[in-house]
Structure 1
């Protein structure tokens, strides 16, 4: 049993959907030690507990660029077919253990070519690990559905190539495209031709926006990338003015961009703990209770809750939901709403969505 409960229900037992979860941010510390030993990688700690603590400490810098430096270690042990296969398999098994029934794994294949893998071989290795894990979950009476989000690094110049990679694997595990890396100064419009290619092929994209940069970045992601979801999207709150707040009600005025995102129900992939670590919510405060996620949720935005990087944040989706229950007194209805939001935003077929939505509703009803 987890320590996180809502209305007397263990949150870990609830069906969950994870949309924003980085493969190179979800390694088990013991796996890093073992894979690192195989390649002679020098690590900052020699046991799993200490290594996990090191990642958490390094990630609490309040700076997105500093936070991203921790990935130098995780990607170093993910440069072979064996390493990628193992990491992907364990990643999915850990999701299933946490109650996730549908998950999308985002990762950037271009960061995993240092030991001779091709882009396609890297994607195939991850897919093989995913499929092995799905089979293991099924053999124990469970079920989990997983898709790959193939990411391009926004500050590099391979987006067109990575977009074509995603399209080659659209029927072999890839369900969507993403751009990641430093957001500020690297708008989606830099990669316009890649997004044009994807749009012409009717392939969905989510874009990291509203994390390391503000509403101009969000607007650009929606316009240039035709983003169906916003990775984090937290800083859309910069376009909301609170005009009056009492114990009974809150009166706000939405700017045109915020109104568009709300009215079109564009999915916000909010990652609360990560947002604290990277300073995303610094303008509102430094505690989780300062995070605009509750305001966005109460106003009817399509909020979803995600772990982002389970290793760096020392977290799980259960924990992220539990923290919001503690901070904002969310109840089962709130958790079901954000979970259904995630199902609606998932890059799957409409038939798969309907099945997923029913499974979520039944799962919550059974625990009420």
Structure 2
């Protein structure tokens, strides 16, 4: 054996085993890392890219900008003070709002005093101190699990990313234009973002509408409601409920004062009794009108008890409807002029059709 090796004319050379041709390449190292779990030790991002977590994140039925924002938060790609401090871009890692802790992405969106106030003021009424996760993905999993059994899961998955998005935008205003954080403005912007997500709209014009002008559509039926001002918006609402299936629906349709169609919305799912569905349809109408920038509104409902309660007259609403009344009155304060009127079911067929 020694003789054979010593008689060999060739010289020794380096050979890279993971490569077929024996030459080193970045590609071969990449595949070696995938097979030997090196990536799991060095980077959570690459190893988790094909995990159930990211699959669930990318399958969310929300606007693409929301998905990208959540992904950037998960992979620590948002420029928060903690990250900038570690790279010597800034000399202060403290949060610019509360000055109490390092501004990580978790602190910015959940633990900061302003972020906590936003979560408490939102429809979730979430106390962020109840969960102690230190990683953003832990918080996302927490939200997934907490609202997995929500009556309307799809709508819930639209709302909490929208709230995170608006909290982040408000913080950016603090950093870049030195604007004081405003809780009311943030919640109002959150409602607008939720409506944007629900309607699946963006800031770009809709190519499927002629002249991109929804008011060019005119319905042929007669309202007979004695409202003719072109500056007013008429909102027709209705809610239905099936006591056997425990499911219901709600419909909203908006017209301007000269009876031209503007927008419509309908929604179905598990619900509380009929009065609460009527109340939710009123809330839907207010949020839709607010998101479209209208400030003068006449709202019609065929639920006499609800209309009486909204006009300050005592009525026999159930507890579920009364809990929604607080949101309705809060949203109503953002309108310059608003009226609540009762309408007969026979004159509210369009909203009833949408609800069913």
Q: By the TM > 0.5 criterion, same fold?
A: no
Q: TM-score, normalised by structure 2?
A: 0.27
Q: TM-score, normalised by structure 1?
A: 0.26
Structure that is richer in strand per residue: 1
